[in-house]
Amino acid sequence: MYIGFDYGTSNCSVAHMLSGEPQLLVLENDQFYLPSTLAAPTRDSVSEYLFRFCQIEPADAAGQQLLRRAMAANREEGIELQQADLLFGQAALELYLAHPQDLYYVKSPKSFLGAMGLHEMQLRFFEDLVCVMMANIKQRAEQACQQSISDAVIGRPINFQGSGGEDSNQQAEAILRRAAHRAGFKQVQFQFEPVAAGLEYEASLSEEQTVLVVDIGGGTTDCSLLRMGPSWRDAKDRSASLLAHSGQRVGGNDLDIHLAFRQLMPHFGLGSRLDSGLEMPMKQLWNPLAINDLSAQNEFYGQRNLAELKLLLKEATEPEKVKRLLEVYYDTLGYSLVRRAEEAKIALSQTPDYHSSMTLENELLQFAMQFDDMVQALEVPKQQITKLVQEAITQGGTTPDVVFMTGGSARSPVLRQAVAEVLPNVPLVSGNDFGSVTAGLARWAKVCFS
């Protein structure tokens, strides 16, 4: 059996073909979408769990070395790993929100796969991390459809996050491929995520159209300009229908990060000053929120930064704010802050005001935001997405007949208005914002594996 597999930055989902139509499979609590999260007692628990409870061996000598180190580290910490110790999806998120300081938690590992300068052990760890998540999702999908799954088409962005250009893309795709094979998939193909979304939209067409697909996912925004319609449907060679692609690292996570930075970080020192008259260093307020930037996370939560934060506490004119920032450091609260911003973003798409709170060690911190605050906070990512739309149109040399917007952030009225301003006379349509890519991947899997 084959599936379409959206290993997404925010959520994962899979679909198979049933009676000629894609059907998403339930992965958690009657839901089709499993948050791309993992929680474990320690970082080293990931590799040991994969070997001990998934019976998945390391792929090479470097992987074996990583496993030996991980098992030795857990023994030294007195950790006797149990099968229930690794949590995935919503269960992992809930555990992190309840006990952020007591575990290893990762969200959106796809964001790190294209990072340059990683040493061999880091690459093997990311492979293990993706593999254990894929193995878990494969098992859930097989339980849902009561069939064994052997083959998959996996979605990928036009450009993975990373500074290495095509080198980043090749590294990330190689990690995904190796992890998928180790997780039990025999045949693995890749398809661009906006093309997959376009294939799902194409199934509804009765005539030829030029379609601009704008896929605003959790980690990237990707645009594809495509010729689509009945004459292209089920064609194995679609190269002549692909007129242009554009894509970069700006997605739902970036919207949440920018909103958290502008609206939440003033409570933690943004805009406050030191005794010298200088403002608080920007990186100390940005890095804890940059959950899609491995180097920023390592820099903020590194031991060396603790001394810098303590020095800032002594020099701050508003030390109570820096004390909160120290609490972010000690309790690894960056994900929690971005989560609060994500909740605000969703709410402000429907209501003009939003109020929330966050429990810290000695206080209940209150937040209040308005729709206009969100608009201002999202100005930078909005401009980046607008540029990608314009780039795809310029490359393709033609104006589309329709714009098909999809992805979790495609519902944002701010972003929809931005796209509409680029193409004011072109209809803007939507489908299943979260499931179009997955459904299109299943359609392409039928073309590849039938």
Q: What are the tens digits of pLDDT across the range 124-151?
A: 999 999 999 999 999 999 999 999 999 9
Residues 6+ apart with CB under 8 A from 16: 1, 2, 3, 4, 22, 23, 25, 145, 149, 442
Alpha helix locations (H) across 119-165? 120-145
Bridge partners, 5 (sequence order): 14, 154
Q: Is the pLDDT of residue 336 over 80?
A: yes
Extract the tokens encoding 414: 């701010």
Q: Which of 349, 347, 344, 346 is nearest to 367 (CA)?
A: 344
pTM: 0.90
Q: Residue 411 — pLDDT band, cuts 50, 70, 90?
A: confident
Phi-psi region of 344 (alpha: psi -120 to 50; beta: other; left: phi over 0): alpha
Calculate the alpha carbon distances from 192 to 4, 6, 284 in Å: 12, 11, 35
Calculate the alpha carbon distances from 354 to 70, 290, 322, 375, 438 in Å: 44, 23, 25, 14, 32
Asked whether the beta carbons of 365 and 267 are under 8 A apart, the reply is yes
Asked whether the beta carbons of 123 and 175 are under 8 A apart, the reply is yes
Across the chain, mean pLDDT equals 94
Model pLDDT, residue 213: 97
CATH architecture for segment(s) 2-185: 2-Layer Sandwich (3.30)
DSSP, collapsed to helix, strand or coil, labels residue 305 as helix
Q: Is the pLDDT of residue 318 over 80?
A: yes
Asked whether the beta carbons of 17 and 42 are under 8 A apart, the reply is no
Q: Is the pLDDT of residue 76 over 90?
A: yes
Between vectors from CA 99 to CA 95 and to CA 104, what angle results, nearest 5°?
A: 75
Q: Note whether 2-185 and 207-251+380-430 share their fold.
A: yes
Q: Residue 361 — pLDDT band, cuts 50, 70, 90?
A: confident
Model pLDDT, residue 163: 77
What's the CATH fold of domain 207-251+380-430? Nucleotidyltransferase; domain 5 (3.30.420)
Extract the tokens encoding 401: 């007949």
Asked whether the beta carbons of 51 and 105 are under 8 A apart, the reply is no
Q: Residue 292 — pLDDT band, cuts 50, 70, 90?
A: confident
Q: Residue 431 — pLDDT band, cuts 50, 70, 90?
A: confident
Q: Which helix (H) or strand (E) holds 64?
A: helix 61-76
Q: Where are the domains of the chain?
A: 2-185, 207-251+380-430, 253-377
